[in-house]
Chains A and B, each alone.
Chain A
Amino acid sequence: MSRTIDAVVSPTQTNTIPADISGQMLDLDEDDDLEVFSKDLTLADGNMFNASMPTSPGSMVNQCKFEEDEESDSKDIFITVDNPESHVTAIETFITYRVLTKTTRSEFDNSEYEVRRRYQDFLWLKGKLEDAHSTLIVHPLPEKFVVKGMVERFNGDFIETRRKALHKFLNRVADHPILSCSEDFKVFLSAQAWELTTYKKQGPGFLSRMGETVRAVANSVRGVKNRPEEFTAIQEYVEDFSNKIGSLDKVTQRIVKEQKEYLEELKEYGPTYTLWSGSEEELAEQLKGVAGCIERCCKETEEQVGHLSDTLVPVLHEYVLCAETLKAVLRRRDNIQAEFEAKNEALATKKVDRDAESSDLGFVWGSLLGKNPEEARHQRQERLDGEIEELKEEIDKLEDRVEWANNALKGDWGRWQRSMRGDLKSAFLSTAEKNVDYYEKCLAVWETFLLSQRTEPSEETDRDNTP
């Protein structure tokens, strides 16, 4: 069951911005109202603006369906990432993946798209999404390079792992009520290669992004002064979570390693029984039986390790990256608030300046330039007043930006926690199930062997078994 929610958010209007976007329902189910707010994403060109401006209300007129639980029967977009292919050019070699989209959303012209994308393209998309929604939680991408180990970029396993992670990334974006409405996202899914290249070249230039970064650095150095309690709580949680998930990641990788080493030894163990059977007569069959059991258990062990590597390891790793994403999101939120606080302080200083008696220095300076002291003071007042007005306007905008950022984050936070729980629960469940299955299969192997031993015509029962 899905509810169409009209999320009208505008800093200039006086509507209260819903604190938790993902779950609330505004009571606007009269038909005429629905008409007004049509699902028209041509307004959603907010991605093309200067990133330092708050997200314009236009982009937020999203008639995206807000699902509380991602039910697949109400999903209207299906994306798969598959079919890696390697491309060789004069300059470089790289892999592209096929991205297949099937959708019924009206903002897409077609219902099906098939494009090829390389890792760089995914990076670009993630960057754009984060720029546009700096305090929303974007699912992490697989890492650029494998941090540990000497895995080549073109190793089959590496490519497969990456493909799965990229697939998950796109699907998470598609599931996100706000992010999936992004124009960049749409272009990513639908544009042909050359179209994408052209599209990428638009948008805020390098310099303006530089400016943003410098400002961000400056603000982070300064630090935020009055962080709301709830965000401090979230930050503490993220710290702890980051540690725990990091530990789990390490433990799981260690288990995989130990299991693999166990498997190696086990592979040599069975043959020793076979070797022995060659010297025996009566015992030969039984020894070969044991050897066979051990061999079959080897196969099961191999499968079990594979499952662990395919299912649990990638998920834990993803959430290690998520933790880093969360930290970054919190930092960005802090920066936004810091900027706001800085401007406020600047305003206060200016006001003090203006209200202060004419400083002697100014008076002296003015008289040196041959100005009338009265006039000089008046000019100065006017100038300061103007600056103050400008500042006030900026501050208003920043204030809205802060509130918007906070609400976006709060909303997404709940959402993220739910999907984190879901992901980790299902990964651990799957692991436990596989382990049960593994032991059950091994049990069957040994029980079969035992049965074959017990049903042998027992010459032993005729004899008195004195040791």
Chain B
Amino acid sequence: MMADSGPEEIAVIGNTDLTSAELENNIKNTMVEIEKWTSLLRKMEISVGEAEKRTGKNTVNMQEIYTVYLIETRPVDAVTEGIIPAPDSLWRRYSEFELLRNYLLVTYPFVVVAPLPEKRAEIVWHKLSADNMDPDFVERRRVGLENFLLRLASHPVLCNDKIFYIFLTEEKGWKEMVYETGFQAKADSRLKAMNAAFRVKNPDKRFTELKHYSDELQTVVSQLLRVRARVADRLYGVYKVHGNYGRVFSEWSAIEKEMGDGLQSAGHHMDAYAASVDDILEEEEHYADQLKEYLFYTEALRAVCRKHELTQFELEMAAQDLASKKQQKEELVTGTVRTFSLKGMTSKLFGQETAEQREAKLQVLEQQIEEGEEAVKEKNTESDEFVKTAWLDIEHFKDQKDRDLKEALISYAIMQISRCKKGIQMWTNAKECFNKM
């Protein structure tokens, strides 16, 4: 049973078209402008160079081997008189990247924070090992980490973060600094978030849609990646079996007089054909990584949606609380009991309170109502702010996603074209050899 209250006090935000299309567009353009000005990339080059193995003691004092990555930074305008100075560099391990990201997630809940590359190789096909120490995997992870940093550095909000800057520039003491921010305490508990998700009544429809979209995206891209891996596996098999032709042709050519030469050279082309698949599939792995990034992005999207639900829920709770206080006041004033309350019952049973008692109660309630109204106003603003900034970032993300994935699909087509051209060349060569038989 919801009490009807004055329209202004409780501004529960439903789905409203907050801005007109033009206004939205203007904001978008402004964002791009801001990007240009504040993007960290304007100021410095960032790259993740090599990777190295280290040994050390972990938290339970056991020996472990881990990989560290070299982060190199250099100011963009550092090139003076044609001399490029050496970059500043420091080493970071994967867990530090994770820490950075968690910090950013908590500190900027309205931002769709770029995801990290896989900790472990998940969707693999047979040639690729799931071994974290595998050099190909480490290399792809290096690329992924660089991409992560670049994404952060070009984000209008995140690029200005101090912790991020120090992550890039100061090796020692960074961890302690992060913990000192106390961000962990600010993190919303999972339980709280889930509770809000269930009980929120009027979330912004756009966020609900976004949540659905991110679930869908996760499902379809996972499936696509799985099937792609299987296709890659099979393709690998087809190419490699042709290598057997190479061997047998070579052996056969030894016993033939007239056909010998043709067979021998055809055999070499078959070997080359079989070997060509390694590069082809390695390239495709980068395409898969591009898709994977967006697969992992869905988690970031969901995180923003959750935060919205939480703020919205808190607003609703505050409004509800205010409404019930006002209700109580009214009852006290008019003496009517509209809602069931223990007080009401006891007063019926044991007699009315004295006037002084009532007066005292009234004062308390009024105080609470005032505080409640403040709270609602605060929560309202908070929610408004959140929706505005979050949605801005989401639009930014959507554009980025469309651009990036379009490029990815084009590059996939280019890969296929390249593979076809290679195939044409190899089989044309083989054909010529067969002609000489």
> Is the A/B pair a real complex?
yes
Which one of B79-87, B222-230, B355-363 contacts A? B222-230
**What is the minimal beta-carbon distance from A66 to any residue of chain B, in angstroms?**
22
Q: Bound state CA distance, A254 and B412, in angstroms?
A: 28
Q: Are A464 and B409 in contact (CB under 8 A)?
A: no
Given contacts A464-B32, A464-B36, A465-B403, contact A446 B255 (CB under 8 A): no
Q: Are B417 and A262 in contact (CB under 8 A)?
A: no
Given contacts A265-B230, A436-B427, contact A442 B420 (CB under 8 A): yes
Proximity string of chain B (219-238) to chain A, C-beta cutoff 8 Å, 1 when within and 0 when not:
01101100110110111011
Q: Are A443 and B36 in contact (CB under 8 A)?
A: no
**What is the minimal beta-carbon distance from B250 to any residue of chain A, in angstroms?**
10
Partner of A436, one of B227, B235, B416, B431: B431
Partner of A428, one of B231, B266, B403, B417: B266
Q: Give residues 239-279 of A contacting B (CB, 8 Å).
A: 240-241, 244, 247-248, 251, 254-255, 258-259, 261-262, 264-266, 268-269, 272-273, 275-276, 279
Q: Bound state CA distance, A409 and B95, in angstroms?
A: 78
Q: Are B255 and A240 in contact (CB under 8 A)?
A: yes
Asked if B333 is at the interface of the complex by the 8 Å CB criterion, the answer is no
Q: Are A432 and B403 in contact (CB under 8 A)?
A: no
Partner of A276, one of B221, B233, B421: B221
Partner of A262, one of B223, B238, B410: B238
Q: Are B427 and A439 in contact (CB under 8 A)?
A: yes
Q: Bound state CA distance, A453 and B416, in angstroms?
A: 15
Q: Bound state CA distance, A443 and B418, in angstroms?
A: 8
Asked if B337 is at the interface of the complex by the 8 Å CB criterion, the answer is no
Contacting residues, chain A, for B36 (C-beta < 8 A):
464, 466
Q: Are A446 and B224 in contact (CB under 8 A)?
A: no
Proximity string of chain B (378-415) to chain A, C-beta cutoff 8 Å, 1 when within and 0 when not:
00000000000000000000001011111001101110
Contacting residues, chain B, for A429 (C-beta < 8 A):
431, 434-435
Q: Give residues 418-467 of A contacting B (CB, 8 Å).
A: 421, 424-425, 428-429, 432-433, 435-436, 438-440, 442-443, 446-447, 449-450, 453, 460, 463-467
Q: Give residues 121-155 of B contacting A (CB, 8 Å).
A: 150-151, 154
Partner of A439, one of B216, B233, B410, B423: B423
Q: Are B424 and A447 in contact (CB under 8 A)?
A: no
Q: Bound state CA distance, A247 and B437, in angstroms?
A: 19
Asked if B258 is at the interface of the complex by the 8 Å CB criterion, the answer is yes
Which one of B6-14, B239-247, B311-319 contacts A? B239-247
Q: Are A443 and B258 in contact (CB under 8 A)?
A: no
Contacting residues, chain B, for A421 (C-beta < 8 A):
258-259, 437
Q: Bound state CA distance, A358 and B231, in angstroms?
A: 88
Q: Bound state CA distance, A460 and B400, in angstroms?
A: 11
What is the predominant secondary structure among interface residues of chain B facing chain A? helix
Q: Are A436 and B154 in contact (CB under 8 A)?
A: no
Q: Are B252 and A244 in contact (CB under 8 A)?
A: yes
Asked if A286 is at the interface of the complex by the 8 Å CB criterion, the answer is yes
Closest residue of chain A to B216, judged by CB?
Answer: A279
Q: Give residues 327-360 of B contacting A (CB, 8 Å).
A: none
Q: Bound state CA distance, A276 and B237, in angstroms?
A: 28
Proximity string of chain A (209-253) to chain B, C-beta cutoff 8 Å, 1 when within and 0 when not:
000000000000000000000000000010011001001100100
Partner of B420, one of A258, A425, A443, A465: A443
Q: Are B437 and A424 in contact (CB under 8 A)?
A: yes
Asked if A159 is at the interface of the complex by the 8 Å CB criterion, the answer is no
Asked if B251 is at the interface of the complex by the 8 Å CB criterion, the answer is yes
Q: Are B248 and A446 in contact (CB under 8 A)?
A: no
Asked if B204 is at the interface of the complex by the 8 Å CB criterion, the answer is no
**What is the minimal beta-carbon distance from A354 to any residue of chain B, in angstroms?**
49
Contacting residues, chain A, for B150 (C-beta < 8 A):
467
Given contacts A464-B32, A465-B403, contact A428 B434 (CB under 8 A): yes
Q: Are B406 and A286 in contact (CB under 8 A)?
A: yes
Contacting residues, chain B, for A290 (C-beta < 8 A):
409, 412-413
Asked if A375 is at the interface of the complex by the 8 Å CB criterion, the answer is no
Given contacts A283-B405, A421-B437, A446-B417, contact A254 B424 (CB under 8 A): no
Asked if B430 is at the interface of the complex by the 8 Å CB criterion, the answer is yes
Asked if B35 is at the interface of the complex by the 8 Å CB criterion, the answer is yes
Closest residue of chain B to A273, judged by CB?
Answer: B224
Q: Are A436 and B259 in contact (CB under 8 A)?
A: no
Given contacts A293-B413, A428-B434, contact A255 B242 (CB under 8 A): yes
Q: Bound state CA distance, A466 and B231, in angstroms?
A: 33
Q: Are A442 and B248 in contact (CB under 8 A)?
A: no
Q: Are B416 and A466 in contact (CB under 8 A)?
A: no
Given contacts A266-B231, A272-B227, contact A287 B431 (CB under 8 A): no
Q: Are B234 and A262 in contact (CB under 8 A)?
A: yes
**What is the minimal beta-carbon distance from A408 to any residue of chain B, in angstroms?**
22
Given contacts A244-B248, A265-B231, A425-B437, contact A272 B220 (CB under 8 A): yes
Partner of B413, one of A241, A244, A276, A453: A453
Given contacts A251-B245, A287-B409, A450-B417, contact A460 B403 (CB under 8 A): yes
Proximity string of chain B (272-308) to chain A, C-beta cutoff 8 Å, 1 when within and 0 when not:
0000000000000000000000000000000000000
Closest residue of chain A to B252, judged by CB?
Answer: A244
Contacting residues, chain B, for A447 (C-beta < 8 A):
417
Asked if A27 is at the interface of the complex by the 8 Å CB criterion, the answer is no
Q: Are B234 and A442 in contact (CB under 8 A)?
A: no
Given contacts A237-B255, A283-B402, A290-B409, contact A439 B424 (CB under 8 A): yes
**What is the minimal beta-carbon distance from B380 to any residue of chain A, in angstroms?**
32
Contacting residues, chain B, for A237 (C-beta < 8 A):
255
Asked if A31 is at the interface of the complex by the 8 Å CB criterion, the answer is no
Asked if A35 is at the interface of the complex by the 8 Å CB criterion, the answer is no
Q: Are A282 and B402 in contact (CB under 8 A)?
A: yes
Contacting residues, chain A, for B238 (C-beta < 8 A):
255, 258-259, 262
Closest residue of chain A to B225, judged by CB?
Answer: A272
Contacting residues, chain A, for B248 (C-beta < 8 A):
244, 247-248, 251
Proximity string of chain A (61-90) to chain B, C-beta cutoff 8 Å, 1 when within and 0 when not:
000000000000000000000000000000
Q: Bound state CA distance, A442 and B421, in angstroms?
A: 10
Asked if B41 is at the interface of the complex by the 8 Å CB criterion, the answer is yes
**What is the minimal beta-carbon distance from B264 to any residue of chain A, in angstroms?**
13
Contacting residues, chain B, for A425 (C-beta < 8 A):
259, 262, 434-435, 437
**What is the minimal beta-carbon distance from B287 to any residue of chain A, in angstroms?**
11
Partner of B234, one of A241, A265, A283, A443: A265
- Pick the most buried of B39, B242, B409: most chain A CB atoms within 10 A of its CB: B409
Closest residue of chain B to A429, judged by CB?
Answer: B434
Asked if B165 is at the interface of the complex by the 8 Å CB criterion, the answer is no
**What is the minimal beta-carbon distance from B144 to any residue of chain A, in angstroms?**
14
Closest residue of chain A to B430, judged by CB?
Answer: A432
Asked if B25 is at the interface of the complex by the 8 Å CB criterion, the answer is no
Q: Bound state CA distance, A240 and B260, in angstroms?
A: 14
**What is the minimal beta-carbon distance from A285 to any residue of chain B, in angstroms?**
10
Asked if B5 is at the interface of the complex by the 8 Å CB criterion, the answer is no
Given contacts A265-B234, A276-B220, A464-B32, contact A432 B427 (CB under 8 A): yes
**Chain A interface residues toward B at CB < 8 A:** 237, 240-241, 244, 247-248, 251, 254-255, 258-259, 261-262, 264-266, 268-269, 272-273, 275-276, 279, 282-283, 286-287, 289-290, 293, 421, 424-425, 428-429, 432-433, 435-436, 438-440, 442-443, 446-447, 449-450, 453, 460, 463-467
What are 18 A-B residue pairs whose CB atoms fall within 8 Å in the complex?
A: A247-B244, A247-B248, A251-B248, A258-B237, A261-B234, A262-B231, A264-B234, A268-B230, A272-B220, A273-B224, A279-B217, A282-B402, A424-B437, A428-B434, A435-B430, A447-B417, A463-B32, A466-B39
List the 8 closest pairs (A to B, CB-CB), nearest first.
A439-B423, A262-B234, A432-B431, A443-B420, A272-B224, A435-B427, A244-B252, A276-B220
What would 16 more interface pairs be, CB under 8 Å, given A248-B248, A424-B259, A446-B416?
Answer: A237-B255, A248-B252, A255-B242, A258-B241, A265-B231, A266-B234, A269-B231, A276-B224, A283-B405, A293-B413, A293-B416, A425-B259, A425-B262, A436-B423, A436-B428, A453-B409
